[in-house]
Chains A and B, each alone.
Chain A
Amino acid sequence: MYHNTRDVVIIGGGVIGCSIAYYLAKKGIKPLILERRQIASEASCAGAGGLWPQSESKGPGIFLDLCIESNKMFPALCRELEWNIGFDPSGLLHLIEDEEAMEESKRLMEWQLKRGLQVEFLTKEETLKMEPALSKDLLGSLYFSSDAQLSTIDLTHAFYLGAMSLGAEIMIDTEVKQIILKKKRIEGVIVKKSRQKEKINTKIVINAAGAWSRNIGQMVGLRIPVIPIRGQIVLTDPLPELFRRSLVARDVYMMQKASRNIVLGSTREDVGYDKTVSIQGIENLRNAGCKVVPQLKNATMVRTWAGLRPYTPDEVPILGRVEEVEGFIMASGHFRNGILLSPITGKLIAELIVDGKTSLPLRDTRLSRFPGYLIKKKRVLTPVS
């Protein structure tokens, strides 16, 4: 049976929650993960698995730093985790489809070179030599040799198994109903599992609830500006090797996975908690894919799905303590990069809890960067007669 007191409670059994559990367990803390459904059942099983620190960044800053540091951690993780995560450092081609994209790519390349990052401009001929299946209408590409791909579900499972073998625990099918506060300090949580309520005492709660982290914030009087953004994905049948690297075009990205299926992603839609796919969304992805890889016309679509990515207004995750609620730690809002950012998030949150300081500053990832993050109690107005 579960004991009623825990040092640390993590809300959410996705890739972020499992990574935090793993890094905490490595430092000797045995956290408890509370998961509403099962491990990796939401965004962590819905992504395509691209690790693209450079092509996803818009400029220098904390987001880029987190992406670069996290990406560096994967080779070591492959060695230390006992479950195969399918890590494939095959690189990425950022496809240039027209003059406008050419201008954007030049700007991207300029600031990245200035920052000391590796990026190479490839002409049309060089691009086609690298990936012969690409369309001859492309103007060229940017080649990011340090970008990679992996299996998102396997990464989450690997962190989970690693954490469990070091003494972490999990309660699945368990929903957090309430967070108990006493003088603005965390005292515990009340959970519901198969119609039974249970109280767990703890002084530290980590909000790793992804697209649902707003609901957790409300329980402690915080307004967390994370909303679900739907991403639709299309999967083809297994095909002979058509291309090797991740391909990113304006309206689609594509990867041929280890299973030889090609995955095409993804839409970005603000439709609330709706995970259905739309014919239009799927068709747009397919058309965009066939435009850059013409042979895809012969492929067969076997599966489509959608996931809800936890979006923040500035597309930077929310990490770290919240001054007003002692013991409450944020680790959410990773949007399209939760898989890539999971190792660094786990490492930094574990450092914050165990060492009291972090190896990268969390100043720019604080919740307090969003105005109105504290929910003020509503004043009851007496009607004027």
Chain B
Amino acid sequence: MIDNEVIICRCEEVTKEEVIKAIRRGANTVNAIKRWTRVGMGLCQGKSCLQWVAKILSEETGKPMKNIKPQTSRPPIRPIKFSVRLTEEEDR
């Protein structure tokens, strides 16, 4: 198993230990762990790390992986430049 000091979320530099601490404080969902640690709140929005978080949550609580809900998805799927127009309407 991975070392506790390993960085789970590279964007926000969150270690496995911090994730475990959040679970011990009562976080029992991926969303709650995110709020305690900022895991998955960086540029990649958790694309690589939140699977790891779910796995750690499963190990720590004994909840099977299939019962762990993924994070609430927040648009956009990929970062979008502010200069890109989203609606068809012309700017005045």
Q: Which residues of A contact B (CB under 8 A)?
A: 38-41, 45, 153, 157, 161, 170, 172-173, 236-238, 259, 277, 279-280, 282-283, 286-287, 290, 296-305
Contact = CB atoms under 8 A, between A and B. Distances in A.
Determine the main DSSP class of A at the interface with B: mixed
B31 interface: yes
Say which size band chain B's interface belongs to.
20 to 34
Nearest to B81: A300
A172 B43 CA distance: 30
B41 interface: yes
Contacts, number: 72
Contacts of A153: 35
A242 to B, nearest CB: 12
Interface in B68-92: 74-76, 79-83, 85-87, 91
A282 B79 contact: no
6 contacts: A40-B35, A286-B86, A297-B83, A299-B81, A303-B75, A303-B76
A279 B26 contact: no
A348 B47 CA distance: 43
Determine the main DSSP class of B at the interface with A: loop
Contacts of B85: 283
Contacts of B43: 237-238, 302
Contacts of A283: 85-87
Contacts of B31: 38, 41
Interface in B13-63: 25-29, 31-32, 35-36, 38, 41-43, 45
A32 to B, nearest CB: 14
A287 B25 CA distance: 40
Contact of A38 (B29, B41, B42, B83): B29
A280 B31 CA distance: 26
A249 to B, nearest CB: 16
